[in-house]
Amino acid sequence: MIFGTFDGLHEGHRALLRQARAHGEHLTIAVAQDHVVEQLKNHPPKKTMHERIDALKDVDFVDIVVPGDLELGSYHVVKNHRPDVIALGYDQQALKFDLEDHMHNFDWEIEIVMLDPHKPETFHSSLMDK
């Protein structure tokens, strides 16, 4: 499983998703709700959650794309999909620490892996928005 906004799918996202897929037999993507994007990034997404989900469904090696949780830190999507591995982008350290704090809420083992950046000086979404 991987979490993200994926607002304007670019090669950096595709590289991240390929890395995540390499950690398992099945890749589930949880796409952040529009209001959650606004909470996290202090601005609304350019595309709606449904548009972002539709774009990800066209990626060959993606198995399922689902809406993220309505509330940050609730991790209902994790409980519903029960991943063995959660892959996080190199810039998702805060999410990693929050997930680690919530591991006691899951009744199975989850491995958290941090993925390598792919040309972050070029393909980081915050840079591409400029």
Name the CATH superfamily, with its identifier, for domain 2-128.
HUPs (3.40.50.620)
Handedness of CA 64, 5, 68, 104 (dihedral sign): positive
Contact (Cβ atoms closer than 8 angstroms) between residue 34 and residue 49: yes
Q: What whole-number distance in Å separates Cα of residue 2 and Cα of residue 88? A: 6
pLDDT at 124 over 80: no
pTM score, whole prediction: 0.88
pLDDT band at 26 (very low <50, low <70, confident <90, very high): very high
What the block records as the tokens of 70 is: 């309505």
* Mean of per-residue pLDDT scores for the chain: 91
Q: Cα separations (Å) of 35 from 3, 39, 48, 69, 130?
A: 15, 6, 10, 10, 21
Mean pLDDT confidence for 113-119: 87
CB proximity list for 9: less than 8 A, separation 6 or greater: 52, 55, 56, 59
Q: What is the pLDDT of residues 57-102, one digit of tens each?
A: 999 989 999 999 999 999 999 999 999 999 999 999 999 999 999 9
Q: What is the pLDDT of residue 118?
A: 74
The full set of domain ranges for the chain reads 2-128
